Structure 1
Amino acid sequence: MRRSDTPAEHAVLLGDTPADVRGGLAHGVRVIGVATGRTSAADLAAAGATQTLPSLADTERALHLIAG
């Protein structure tokens, strides 16, 4: 975030681990959890992800969530 011209409140992080979710939230970034790794969508939501996706296969849905 220090190198970005985008304020945290306008940024979106896509992450597939609870650590990704916690890191984004710690910096005020909206986090979309993507259950493409070993972590389930339920676990990403429990970690605080704003929204979750089972994968990035549904591009239209992913872009909709990113756009907010």
Structure 2
Amino acid sequence: MGIFRQFIYHILHLYGVAANHTSEIDFDTVTPDAIQLQCLPRPKGHVTAVRITAKNPDAGLKPSSGSL
């Protein structure tokens, strides 16, 4: 699976690479040129993800649309 075209600009901006940059981004910064040509993104903020599921114990724990 590749990267959606509309996100390429944002990924280049995140790594500090110019939009007209033609070579690949070295995400692991293995090559010495990568350290000079791009910057490492810094974490900013926090995220919390929650998933609520409803299962019916009378029907063998099959998923069901229940009320909260």
More strand by share: 1
More helix by share: 1
The normalised TM-score by structure 1 is 0.24
The normalised TM-score by structure 2 is 0.24
Structure with more relative contact order (C-alpha pairs < 8 Å, separation 6 or more): 1
